[in-house]
Structure 1
Amino acid sequence: MAAGASPREELQTITMAEKSIGTHVENGHDETENGGNEKKNIDQDDDDDDEFESIAQGDHEELSTTLCVDQMNRRKKKALLEFRWRVEDAISGNYLLGKPNEFLSRNESIKQREILRETTLWGVPLLPSKAHEGTDIVLLKFLKAKDFKVHEAFQMLRRTLKWRKEYKSDEILDEKLGPSSDIEQNKVLYFNSRDKEGRPVCYNVYEAFGDRDFYREAFGSEDKCEEFLRWRIQFIEKGINKLSFKNGGVHSIVQITDLKNSPGPAMKELHSVSKKALVLLQENYPELVHKNIVINAPLWYYAVHIVRSRFLTQKTKRKFVLARPTNVTKTLLKFIAPENLPVQYGGLKREHDEDFSTLDEASELKIKGNSTAYIKFPVSEAGSTMVWDFTVVGWEVSYKEEFIPDDEGSYKILLQNQKRVGESVRNSFYISEPGTIVITIDNGNYKKKTVLYRSKAKPTVPMYILFKN
C-alpha cells in the first residue's frame, strides 16, 4: 500500500488509469485467470511416466511474498485494492461480522467499532490502513481462492471470521485434545521438517487407526468424533504458528497423508471426520495448504476420493497429489529434500541423529539400467571415523561396501557384501590408515535409479587408548 493513500484513493487511481489505457487485458488475455488455463506440470522421469499419480497437480503459482502489488496484472491489482477498500469500509462501518445492532448506544457502537479495528486473522491485522505487511498476503489468499472475485472473497472472509468466533478457534491451542498419550498423538499427527521452499510439513498417519482400541478411543462416540475433528483443526492452527506472514516469509504448509495399513472404507467415522476436516480447511483456511500429498494410497481410496471431491472446489482438488506404495519416495522427493525426508519414507532424516543434520546436504548419482556405479569417500588422514548414509529411490539394487587402503601392501576390508535392502543405509568405519571407502551399487533393473548419499569424517579416539587410560 502506498504511503499516505487510502484503499479507496488507490482504487480510484488504478480505475482512472485503466480507462485511459484500455481494459483489453481483462477481456480474455489474462493467462492465469481461470483454472482451466493453468498448465499442469508433472515432473516425471522418461522411464517412469506411469508411476506418479496426481489429481490435477497444477496451480504451481504460490502466493509467494514476491507477488507484491506492483508485480500483479491490472485485473488482480484492481481486485486487491477493491478488496482492501471493502474490508476497510466494513470495519469502519462496523458491519464486517454482519449488520450492526441498531439498538446499541452511541458509546457502545464506538466501543464495538474500536474492537473491530483490532480484528486479526492468523495473527495479522485485517485493517488495511494499519499498513501491516501481512495484510495483503492474507487478503490475497481469499482473493485467489475465489479467482479474484472481490464480492465472493469478501463474503468468504466474513464467513471465516464468524466461524472462528463460533468455533473459538483462537482459543484452541490452549486445549488438551486428541489421544491421551503423547506417544499415540505423535503416531497420528506430527510436524517433521520442511519442504524445499521452507514450508512446514505435517504428517497424517492412518496406520494407528487399525488398532481397535485406539480407534474406539478416537471415534467411539459422537462427542469423541467432534473432539478428534477439533484436534485436527488445532493442528492446522499449530502449523499457522510456524508460518511468517511477511515479505520473504513462508505462509503455507504441506500435508502428507499416509494410508499404509489404514482401515478400509468400512471405518465410516474416520472417513466422515476426514471429510468434515477437509471441508473446514477449504472454507476457512484458503491457500494455507500448498499441497495435500496422499501416499501409499490403496485402490479403494481412489473411489472414496472421487466421491469426496464433489464437496471440493477445483482449486482444492488441484492441490491433491496421490502416490501408490511403489512410488512414495519418488513422489515425496519432488517436494522435500532427502536430508529433510524421514528414513521411513526413503529419505535420510533420522530422529535424534548425532551424525548428520538437515544442513548436511546429500549428493545425487544416477545409475543407468543394468549397470554398476561407484561412490567413493577418500580419507587422507588416519584417526577418524567415516560415517555415511545413502538411499536408492525405488531400491531393487544390491550393494557392497569396502575400505581400500592407499598402501598396496594392506588388505581390503569388506564391510557389506551384495546386500539387497529396501531402506536407507547408515554405516561407519574407523580409519586406521589413509584409504577410500568404496560403495559399489549394482542396478540389475532395466530402469534408471537415483542414489542420494552423504558422508562425514568425525575425529575419534581409538577404543584401545580409552581402555588403556
Structure 2
Amino acid sequence: MLKDTLQWRQTFDIESLIQQDLKNDLDLEKVVFNHGVDKQGHPVCYNVYGEFENKELYEKWFSDGEKRLRFLRWRIQFLEKSIRMLDFGPGGVNTVFQINDLKNSPGLAKRELRVATRQALQILQDNYPEFVEKQVFINAPWWYLAFYTMISPFMTQRTKSKFVFASTAKTPETLFKYVNPEHVPVQYGGFSVDYCNCNPEFTINDPASVITIKPATKQTVEIIVNEKCLLVWELRVLGWEVSYSAEFVPSNESHYTIIIQKARKMSPADEPVISHSFKISELGKILLNVDNPTSKKKTLLYRFKVCPLAE
C-alpha cells in the first residue's frame, strides 16, 4: 500500500499541485473550509454539500470529466495543506475532525457528483488512511440514515466508531459534545462568526458556557462584578421562542436595581446572537434572565468579558 501511494503521489504530482495558486476558485471556500478545533485540539474541517444545489457552481465543477478532475485536484490540494499543518511528533495532533453538512445535499440523485465523490473517497482510502479522527454527519435526512443502516454491517467496528449522525434538530447538541460553542460557526448553533466585526470584543478563544433550560422554567445567569468596569456579554438561545431580560443589582441594598433590557419575547427570526454591554460603577451583579414558556427544552449559550474602564 505504501509503494502504491508513493507511486500515486508521483503520478498525481503532489508537490507541483501544492505550489499551484487556486485562490481564484473562491466559490469553493463555502464548500470545504477549516474552522476552529475540537475539544482535543484537532482542526475541524467542514464539508457543505448543499452548496452544490447552486446550478452554476455545479456546472462549473462537475459538468464533464475534465472539470471533475480539476475539482478533485483542488480537494487533494486542500487536504495536503491541512495535513502539513498537523503535528506528527510524540503526543502531537495528527488527525482531522470532519463535519459533513448534508442540508439540501443533492444526495445520490446527481450522477456527476456521485462519480466525483466515489473517486475522491477511493483516493482518500488508498492514500490517506487514518487521517480522520471523527466523521460527523449533521442535518442528516432520513434517507441518509437508512442508507447508512443498510451498509453499516459491511464496515469494520473501527470504521463505524468514527461515524456520528445527527438530524437537523440534534445538530447543535451533537456538535457541542465534540466542539466548544466558541469554535462552532453561528450557522451551526455556536458563537463563531467569520469575517465579522459585529462584536470585536470576543474571539474564537473566548470560552462560552452551555446551559439546558427545562420546559416551562426560568433560567437566570448571575455574573458577580467586583470592580468598576465595562461588562460585555453575548447570549443566544437555540431556536429562541423565549423571553429575555437583563438587569444590574447593586450590592448596596439601598440602591435601585437598573433594568438593562426589559423582558422581550425573542422569536427564531431574531438575530442569532445578542450582544450587550453595561458600564458598572459600583459592586454588584448582572442577572441575565431567560424564561422558557414552551414544552421543549432549550439550549442557552453565553459568555462575558470584563473590560477595564479608560482613565
TM class, shorter-length: 0.7 to 0.9
Q: RMSD between aligned alpha carbons? A: 2.8
Q: 1:437 aligns with which of 278, 286, 292?
A: 286
Please state if 1:417 is matched with 2:263.
yes
Aligned-partner Cα distance in 1 for 2:119–2:77: 14
**Is the contact between residue 265 and residue 300 of structure 1 (CA under 8 Å) also seen in structure 2?**
no
User: What letter matches 1:390 in structure 2?
Assistant: L
**Structure 1 residues 9-408: aligned runs within 5 Å:** 156-177=1-22, 180-182=24-26, 184-302=27-145, 305=148, 315-351=158-194, 352=196, 354-382=200-228, 384-392=229-237, 395=239, 397-406=241-250, 408=254
**With structure 1 as the length reference, what TM-score do the two structures score?**
0.58
Q: Give the letter aligned to residue 3 of structure 2.
A: R
Counterpart of 1:453 in 2: which secondary structure? Answer: strand
Q: TM-score w.r.t. structure 2 length?
A: 0.85
Q: Is the 2:249–2:287 Cα contact (8 Å) retained in structure 1? A: no
Per-residue deviation, residues 113-170 of structure 1 (Å, max 9, x unmatched): xxxxxxxxxxxxxxxxxxxxxxxxxxxxxxxxxxxxxxxxxxx222222222222223
One-letter identity of the residue aligned with 1:425: V
Q: Which has the higher contact order (CA 8 A, sep 6+)?
A: 2
Query: Which sections of structure 2, spanning at least 5 residues, go unmatched?
Result: none
Which whole-Å CA distance do the structure 2 matches of 1:455 and 1:312 have between them? 45
Change (3 A) 1:266 1:416: farther
Give the C-alpha shift of residue 368 in structure 1: 3.3
Secondary structure of 1:281's counterpart equals helix
| Alignment-mate amino acid for residue 291 of structure 2 | D
Q: Please report how far the alpha carbon of residue 375 of structure 1 lies from its aligned counterpart in structure 2 after TM superposition.
A: 0.4
More deviation in 308-317 or 263-272?
308-317
Q: Give the share of equivalent positions with the same residue, in percent.
A: 39
* Rounded Cα–Cα distance in structure 1 between residues aligned with 2:308 and 2:214: 36
Sort the Cα spacing of 1:211 and 1:310 in 2 relative to 1 into closer, same or farther, 3 A: farther
Rounded to whole Å, the distance in 2 between the matches of 1:365 and 1:170 is 47
**Number of positions where the alignment pairs a residue of Structure 1 with one of Structure 2:** 303
- Structure 2 residue aligned with 1:465: none
CA–CA distance in structure 2, aligned partners of residues 431 and 276 of structure 1: 58
Shift of 1:447: 5.2
Higher helix share: 1
C-alpha separation between the residues in 2 aligned to 1:458 and 1:309?
A: 52
Q: Distance in 2 between matches of 1:416 and 1:231?
A: 51
Residue 219 of structure 2 aligns with an amino acid whose one-letter code is A
Residues 366 and 308 (structure 1 numbering): CA distance in 2 closer, same or farther, change over 3 Å? closer
Report the CA distance between 1:279 and its aligned residue. Answer: 2.1
Q: Does the C-alpha gap of structure 1 residues 445 and 411 become closer, same or farther in structure 2, counting only changes over 3 Å? A: closer
**CA displacement at 1:290 relative to structure 2:** 0.9
Structure 2 letter corresponding to 1:157 = L
- Encode CA deviations 1:278-321: one digit per residue, 9 max, x unaligned: 22212211110111111112233335556777996654444222
